[in-house]
């Protein structure tokens, strides 16, 4: 496990593991979707609601079956004393909400 060290002046508010969808998750989601559509067609219900439910359940399955990447994203605040050059050498900003930045550590070369 890598111990993250941050530049002085960066306050970590939240740490979230980055996950990515798997191929098997996509295949299972597709199978679930097709099976749900077949079931609803068999009961003669062609409503739009059934289609939405099928898509929703398939998406739930797809996103539930994910594998961890071992990388993390952090929500942080950055003090004015932090050097922009030093910061951009170590971190990548992926999002910003006001004064809260979402960052991830850059890959070591």
pLDDT digits over 33-74, tens only? 888 777 777 766 566 677 777 778 888 887 788 888 888 999
The reported pLDDT for the residue numbered 102 is 95
Q: 29 exposed, middle or buried (CB, 10 Å; 0-12, 13-18, 19+)?
A: buried
Range with top average pLDDT, 16-25, 56-65, 86-95: 86-95
At a CB cut-off of 8 Å and minimum separation 6, what does 59 contact? Answer: 29
- pLDDT, greater one: 25 or 99: 99
Average pLDDT, the chain: 82
- Average pLDDT of the segment spanning 79-95: 90
The strand pair at 66-78 and 91-97 is best described as unpaired
pLDDT band at 1 (very low <50, low <70, confident <90, very high): very low
The reported pLDDT for the residue numbered 2 is 45
């Amino acid at each position: 496990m890598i111990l993250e060290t941050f530049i002085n002046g960066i306050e970590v508010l939240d740490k979230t593991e980055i996950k990515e969808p798997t191929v098997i998750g996509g295949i299972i989601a597709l199978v679930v979707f097709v099976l749900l559509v077949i079931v609803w067609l068999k009961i003669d219900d062609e409503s739009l609601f059934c289609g939405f439910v099928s898509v929703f359940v398939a998406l739930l399955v797809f996103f539930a079956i994910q594998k961890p990447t071992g990388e993390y994203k952090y929500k942080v605040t950055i003090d004015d004393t932090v050097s922009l050059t030093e910061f951009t050498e170590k971190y990548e900003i992926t999002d910003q909400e006001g004064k809260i930045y979402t960052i991830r550590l850059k890959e070591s070369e």
